[in-house]
Structure 1
């Protein structure tokens, strides 16, 4: 992280110094955005906006114990929300099998894993954007609560509480359907 801090300080004065940060995080941010919009061209555009915004606002970045990537994720999250708000398009959810297993493991009790696998996409559609973001960050991207808190501008404890409330809501939705 110290090496990253040096690059950030250099990039504030010389945008060319931002290139190593861009190269390091591009694929990660691209994947994050793609999971939300589901369109490669749109993802490329939004990802470029994320990095342009990061470069433009780099002087405002402050290290708060979470990785620089958390700040980029927050920008990406805001770009996606702005896009959906302006376009009035429906949010896309892309679920990888390994992430699905983690989430189903957290949710299952008496229900079979197969039932959860079948019904989870419909249940996810019933969540709010904020709830869905928590689930994606925690279970689909395996982010620690500290990073989730940084990305969503919450306290770490609040991120934990909200995540468990969403899980509880999902369990109730499963029983209702």
Structure 2
């Protein structure tokens, strides 16, 4: 059996094909969970939002238009909106320090350097405004292009590039300060 593209699978989902839906879930759930978890940093809530994201994919499958955006971009639009809604509903929500075992990403360098870098980046992400945090997560953890991020967040591509540049500059300053204070 040939491996179907996301767009082909979505056409099958529109026909209520559960196997196609399961294939999309299997293919995209890990990266979507990663995005949600990095955004809200609460494991149980991230799992719940992942499920809600895929429920909406199924319920709103007819609104997906492959000529407007890739499935992956459309999926992350849904997840991003749910994260924003969650954040707004939980106004007393405090950004939590992520446990090192909650999320792992392979990096080069020594284990100690990786842990220090991870902690510093986590602390930095927690200090960023929503849009900047979303842009960094989408660009560096999810691998989206500026154009895709622009579409997901519904902001101009130039804004994505400038916020990304500004955020990285700020991150570098934070890292330098941390290294100098050590």
TM-score clears 0.5: yes
1:90 equivalent to 2:94? Answer: yes
TM-score w.r.t. structure 2 length? 0.71
Match in the other structure for 1:50: 53
Please list the CA deviations of residues 60-94 of structure 1 after superposition, one character each: whole Å capped at 9, or x if unmatched.
Answer: 11224643111111111111111111022124575
Question: Once the 2 structures are TM-superposed, how far is the Cα of residue 41 of structure 1 from its aligned partner?
Answer: 2.5
1:78 equivalent to 2:81? Answer: yes
What are the residue-to-residue correspondences of 1:9-158 with 2, within 5 Å? 9-16=11-18, 17-64=20-67, 66-88=69-91, 89-92=93-96, 117=117, 120-158=121-159
Match in the other structure for 1:108: none
TM-score w.r.t. structure 1 length? 0.72
Please list the CA deviations of residues 18-51 of structure 1 after superposition, one character each: whole Å capped at 9, or x if unmatched.
Answer: 2221221112212222223333332221111000
Aligned residues: 165
Match in the other structure for 2:165: 164
1:6 equivalent to 2:3? Answer: no
Q: Which moved more, 1:92-101 or 1:134-143?
A: 92-101
Counterpart CA distance in 1 for 2:131 and 2:175 is: 19
Kept in 1, the 8 Å contact 2:49–2:83? The answer is yes
Which one has a larger percent helix, Structure 1 or Structure 2? 1
The gaps in structure 2 that reach 5 residues or longer are none
The gaps in structure 1 that reach 5 residues or longer are 102-112
Shift in CA distance, 174/26, structure 1 to aligned 2, threshold 3 Å: closer
